[in-house]
Structures are given as structure tokens and as C-alpha cells.
């Protein structure tokens, strides 16, 4: 990551998208008083970001819903 220039999504689109979402939906929304508070709230936000909110790639559904559909289908999940 040391060689990726800030603001260059063509160099790492996944990191740029996450950083933008994290800033807009978390850092710009809350006022923090302690580092501990940031860590605790970021953990909760990250669970929502990764598991509960719809994602474009798996058909605009949350990953948990996509995983459940996949587990109930004849397809196998790769690890």
C-alpha cells in the first residue's frame, strides 16, 4: 500500500471505495472522544458494511443474504 498514490482509484479501486465509504459514513458523521470509542464504533460499522448492507457484486443484496442463498442452492462456496 505504500506505493499507491492517494486519490488514485485506478491503482486500487477496492481500497479507494472503502476509504471513501468509511470517511462519508463514519468519520464525517460522528464526533469521537477517545480512541477506544473509535475502535468500538468502527467495529460495529464494519460489520454492517461487510454483512448487512447491499453490495453491487452479489446481486445488490447483503453478503449474509447472498451466502444464505448460496448455501441453500446446489452450488458450492469456494474458500
pTM of the model: 0.62
Q: What does the pLDDT read at residue 2?
A: 63
Q: Is the pLDDT of residue 75 over 70?
A: no
- Across the range 52-70, mean pLDDT stands at 76
The distance in angstroms from the start CA to the end CA of the chain is: 24
Between 65 and 78, the higher pLDDT residue: 65
Q: Is the pLDDT of residue 1 over 60?
A: no
Model confidence pLDDT, tens digit, residues 3-56: 667 667 677 777 788 888 899 999 999 999 999 999 999 999 999 888 877 766
Helix (H, G, I), strand (E, B) or coil at 37: helix
Contacts 24+ apart (CB under 8 A), 49-58: 49/21, 49/22, 49/25
Amino acid at each position: 500500500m505504500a506505493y499507491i498514490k492517494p486519490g488514485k482509484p485506478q491503482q486500487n479501486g477496492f481500497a479507494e471505495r472503502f476509504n471513501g465509504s468509511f470517511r462519508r459514513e463514519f468519520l464525517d458523521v460522528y464526533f469521537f472522544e477517545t480512541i477506544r470509542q473509535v475502535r468500538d464504533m468502527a467495529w460495529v460499522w464494519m460489520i454492517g458494511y461487510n454483512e448487512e448492507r447491499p453490495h453491487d457484486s452479489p446481486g445488490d443484496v447483503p453478503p449474509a443474504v447472498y451466502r444464505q442463498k448460496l448455501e441453500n442452492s446446489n452450488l458450492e462456496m469456494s474458500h
